[in-house]
A and B are shown apart, each in its own frame.
Chain A
């Protein structure tokens, strides 16, 4: 009886493979390989969606749906582009669509019950409270563009593609986002001292 290779070798191969190689493997029917793509990119997708919605639970739902959609649309992924940017643009689209009904619901609830705006759910495990507070006060569009630039390291072209906006709009949002963030952090520091 021949001894089979332990599964860890296969896992190692997947871990060393590029995103595009794993996509090719998934297309050949290896569904399990997709888990590695999720693990590699889940923080980026979740961070983007959370930034756009400001709601932790909603972001978890949308991030999950984003990867399910990505898996079903793998045939349309072009390996010359970054898989991460591709899946993040799916997440941004989904969030925008979900946000439309979310806003409708919010407007209706506000009218009928005079409820206050939803609080942004705190992100567990983030030590820089001052930074989180400042980000929470920023307009969503500026915050999201800023995170794509300075956390994800995307170029302005990639930001424009992810968010479905023009190049100049992407540059403007990042610049205004920087100004706003620095202003908020400086004001807070001056208030504390």
Chain B
């Protein structure tokens, strides 16, 4: 019975049913109170960050492609004496292209060796925890300390943006003091951000 009343009450709020008893003053008062509070919610306007559209467009807009002449110009050596070796190199690359493509397809996206280090001379154990190991402790241990108190490790990562922190002695979270980019982690601390990309010449 109570459940039916509750259901009917919310259907009335949705405007789905006509009240069977329009003289129920208590229900009318309750409806009025609900509509007033929900009206506050309906007037609520949250604005997205002002730069959101610009950030999206920057991510999806491809870099302008060079014209054919511009591309051709890049092939011309700046010094004349390099013309023959450069052309020979280009011919060799063209010949090797199918083989390189096949190798690249087999080996997947390129992976880069990324170096991490922290100065923690008094630490007994330092671990690296981040997006790349699903924030799981105990998977990447740093080596150290060396004579100067540094702990280091190298991790092979594909291109991408990674957030991470160091976990010292299994209990203390430390943001990489050498990180150029940091962002709040939602717990009152900051994650260090490392962007890994292949340097293309």
Contact = CB atoms under 8 A, between A and B. Distances in A.
Interface stretch (B93-101, B108-116, B146-154, B184-192): B184-192
A106 interface: yes
B22 interface: no
A17 interface: no
Interface stretch (B44-52, B70-78, B80-88): B44-52
B41 A131 contact: yes
B102 interface: no
Interface string A92-128: 0000000001101110110011010011000101101
Contacts of B60: 31, 34, 68, 71-72
A104 B13 contact: no
A106 B173 CA distance: 13
Given A112-B167, A128-B40, A38 B56 contact: yes
A45 B62 CA distance: 24
A67 interface: yes
Which size bracket describes the interface of A in this complex? 35 or more
Interface in A44-60: 45-47, 50, 55, 57-58, 60
B193 to A, nearest CB: 11
B33 A182 contact: yes
Given A109-B173, A112-B171, A146-B41, A43 B46 contact: yes
Contact of B137 (A46, A47, A67, A108): A108
A42 interface: yes
Query: Top 4 A-B pairs ranked by shortest CB distance?
Result: A46-B48, A42-B48, A105-B135, A47-B46
